[in-house]
Amino acid sequence: MNIPKQKTNNNVDEAMRKALLVYERPPRPSPLSASLTFGWRALLKIKHVPEQLFDITAFPIIFLLMFTYLFGGALARSTGDYLQFLLPGILVQTVTMITMYTGIDLNKDISKGIFDRFRTLPIWRPAALVGALLVDAVRYTMASTIMIVLGMALGFRPEGGTLGVLLAVVLLLVFCFSLSWIWTTLGLLMRSEKSVMGFTMMVLFPLTFASNVFVDPETMPSWLQAFVEVNPITILVTAVRSSMQGTVTFEQISLVLIVSVVLTVIFAPLTMYFYRNKK
């Protein structure tokens, strides 16, 4: 018995309609939920490619041991005394250098086409960026913990106690979160991850070495001191070092927070603008 084709098509359409009406459309995820999902994605990337943690495990150890025992005797006549001065500075240098991977990973997603897929999803637009930045904060915390534990094993003793160390780490995390927005902007503008890394290193190396990370600025020429004193890395190192020594002031904390807010206010909107209009 032959069934008319039109009737068969109507039956199929009716069956599909009923199947689609069985379930309600799932609610749109909240900004927090979407951000945490993208953060979990970044954590899974670390799980499957654990060697990317090399920069927050081996590098901090190498830097601290190398500068303490190679230059400590020459700069401070004592490796122990130099360690007390150096550790807060090398902590800041190590963690700020890690911030560049935010822009590099974003640029990698763009080159692979994943970025375009994210922009088509019915989610809060900044979720992909915020999620990545949240996981970066976890990476910064891990690097800070490794540095402080190693420093304690070598003889570093923070006079500010546990509260001073915690305050120092919080200031460092706030600053690095704001600094990461610069690299996300670059990650959206530049055409390759190598370009992002090269430009970032060109900015970070002068900022970290022309600061008070390794030596007291009073030993520098006057023209260089003028730059070092307004260097954001110097402002952060001063606050972190003072916090660990138990001598931090409200002014030092305020300066770090002001710099962080300024960086975020400038570069977060720029990042979102290029994120929405990226072609």
What is the number of structural domains in the chain?
A: 1
Asked if residue 1 is part of any domain, the answer here is no
Residue with tokens 């997603």: 109
- pLDDT tens string for the chain (279 positions)? 454 555 555 666 677 666 666 556 667 777 788 888 888 887 887 777 776 677 777 877 888 888 888 887 777 778 888 899 989 999 998 889 888 888 888 888 777 777 777 777 777 877 888 888 888 888 888 888 888 998 899 889 999 899 999 999 999 999 999 999 999 899 888 888 888 888 888 999 889 888 988 888 888 888 888 999 999 999 999 999 999 999 999 999 999 999 999 999 999 899 888 887 766
Asked if residue 5 is part of any domain, the answer here is no
Distance from C-alpha of 53 to C-alpha of 238, rounded to nearest angstrom: 27
Distance from C-alpha of 93 to C-alpha of 207, rounded to nearest angstrom: 9
Structural domain range at position 163: 29-277
Single-letter amino acid, residue 198: G
Predicted model pTM: 0.82
**The pair of three-digit structure tokens given for residue 149, joined into one six-digit string:** 């534990």
Alpha helices by DSSP H, listed for 77-192, are: 79-98, 100-112, 114-120, 127-154, 161-189
Distance from C-alpha of 225 to C-alpha of 98, rounded to nearest angstrom: 26
Q: Are 115 and 278 in contact (CB under 8 A)?
A: yes
Asked if residue 91 is part of any domain, the answer here is yes
Asked if residue 40 is part of any domain, the answer here is yes
Asked if residue 162 is part of any domain, the answer here is yes
Distance from C-alpha of 194 to C-alpha of 279, rounded to nearest angstrom: 20
Asked if residue 224 is part of any domain, the answer here is yes
Distance from C-alpha of 175 to C-alpha of 186, rounded to nearest angstrom: 18
Asked if residue 16 is part of any domain, the answer here is no
Asked if residue 11 is part of any domain, the answer here is no
